[in-house]
Amino acid sequence: MANQAVTDKGNSCCGHAESHAEHTFKTATEALKADHRVIEEVLNALERLARAPELSALDQWEKAIDFIRNFADKCHHLKEEKLLFPAMEEHGVPLEGGPLGVMLMEHEEGRGYVKAMAAALTIAAKDPAAAKKTLQEMGRAYVRFLREHIQKEDDILFNMADDVLSGEEQKELLRDFEEHELKEIGSGVHEKYLAIAQELTAGR
Ligand SMILES: [Fe+2]
Ligand SMILES: [Fe+2]
């Protein structure tokens, strides 16, 4: 089902009014994987926008970029960077020159694509041809890039995390995720971004 991930209960991002991730997920990595499924739905929508022959639906581009900046980056990537990766580092997984460093670099690289897409949107009225070219190129590249990043985390990095972190540490991380969401994003924002993901998935 196309938008199963965005309609399922128990996604961990962003800013739930009530703390329930701890009750929904057994591990922090499971919660992050649930975020990935929602992000992938938006990547599918972004791919559709980037492959459209004409540059239209600028409001959908805006929504997709808003979602990526806030749900995917500010909430999800920062939970990895500020909480999961340091916890893994404490167990001897190296930051520099290791998989964590690669993931950090990739997060930064992803921000570059998003910045370019956001800049292109601002010139869409004045120079639609240039905006279209950048949005289509950057959009396709970003989709490809983030899918690969997600796959590396799902298949490799999170397995490493599951190997080194104890059950109690995973539960502590889940609690920290909730705190992070409330502090960084605020309550109620989770629902807003799930609604945006649903809208984009439905192609409205
Ligand atoms: Fe990541
Ligand atoms: Fe991730």
pLDDT digits (tens, 9 = 90+) for 150-180: 999 999 999 999 999 999 999 999 999 989 8
For residue range 12-28, list pLDDT tens digits in order.
555 444 444 445 899 99
Q: Tell me, in angstroms, the distance from the centre of ligand 1 to residue 59's CA.
A: 26
pTM of the model: 0.88
* For residue 35, pLDDT beyond 90: yes
Q: Give the orientation angle of helix 128-152 with respect to helix 99-122, to 10 degrees.
A: 160
Ligand nearest, relative to CA of residue 103: 1
Query: To which residue do tokens 């929904």 refer?
Result: 24
Ligand 1 ion: nearby residues, β-carbon < 5 Å: 80
Q: Tell me, in angstroms, the distance from the centre of ligand 2 to residue 103's CA.
A: 9
Q: What is the DSSP string of 94-156?
A: -STTSHHHHHHHHHHHHHHHHHHHHHHHHTTTT-HHHHHHHHHHHHHHHHHHHHHHHHHIIII
Q: Tell me, in angstroms, the distance from the centre of ligand 1 to residue 132's CA.
A: 28
Please name each of the domains of the chain with its CATH number: 4-202 (1.20.120.520)
Q: Tell me, in angstroms, the distance from the centre of ligand 1 to residue 80's CA.
A: 6
pLDDT at 193: 86
Ligand 2 ion: nearby residues, β-carbon < 5 Å: 153
Ligand nearest, relative to CA of residue 154: 2
Q: Tell me, in angstroms, the distance from the centre of ligand 2 to residue 60's CA.
A: 23
